[in-house]
Amino acid sequence: MPIVHWDGSQAIGIEIIDRQHQRLYEVLNSLDRKLHAPTPDATSLNTTVDSMHQYVRYHFSTEERLLEHYGWPGLQEHKLLHQTFVDKAEELLRLGETDVLQALREALVFLVSWVVNHIEGEDQKYAPFLREKVEQSKAK
Ligand SMILES: [Fe+2]
Ligand SMILES: [Fe+2]
């Protein structure tokens, strides 16, 4: 059973963002699968954690660039949420240097709940604004 499931209701209505959000769900599922494998493979886990780390940063910068471009008034607040998450995730992963598996299992709970709440809550706040701006710019 995947730990997170994309059913389309989380969509923002902006293709590039929705694609990236879906990809984030896939990465979380992949991390969960690898962590709960009968004999977890540390190298493969590290690769997944690294790629998740990079993908999260990449996604945040895409989203922030779009919000900045269209002048979303909540940009600074939204950026701060992203940054706080990155800091917290990095801290959790650093703590994992002694017992990597246990730390990752605990970190996963935080990562999943944060990402799901963020995508289904905070990101939805800018969705109507961004959809309207993108539509307007297409009409020009
Ligand atoms: Fe997002
Ligand atoms: Fe966001």
H, E, C per residue of 12-55: CCCHHHHHHHHHHHHHHHHHHHHHCCCCCCHHHHHHHHHHHHHH
Q: Nearest 5°: phi and psi at 99? A: -120, 85
Of the candidates 132, 128, 57, 41, which has an alpha carbon nearest to the alpha carbon of residue 90? 57
List the CATH number of the domain containing 89: 1.20.120.50
Look at residue 95 and tell me whether its pLDDT is greater than 70: no
CA 41 / ligand 2 centre spacing (Å): 31
List pLDDT tens digits, range 21-47: 999 999 999 999 999 899 988 888 888
Q: Flag whether the pTM goes above 0.85.
A: yes
List pLDDT tens digits, range 116-134: 999 999 999 999 999 999 9
Q: Is residue 59 part of a domain?
A: yes
Domain hosting residue 108, numbered range: 15-139
CA 82 / ligand 2 centre spacing (Å): 6
CA 119 / ligand 2 centre spacing (Å): 7
In this prediction, residues 98-112 reach a mean pLDDT of: 85
Number of domain units in the chain: 1
Look at residue 1 and tell me whether its pLDDT is greater than 70: yes
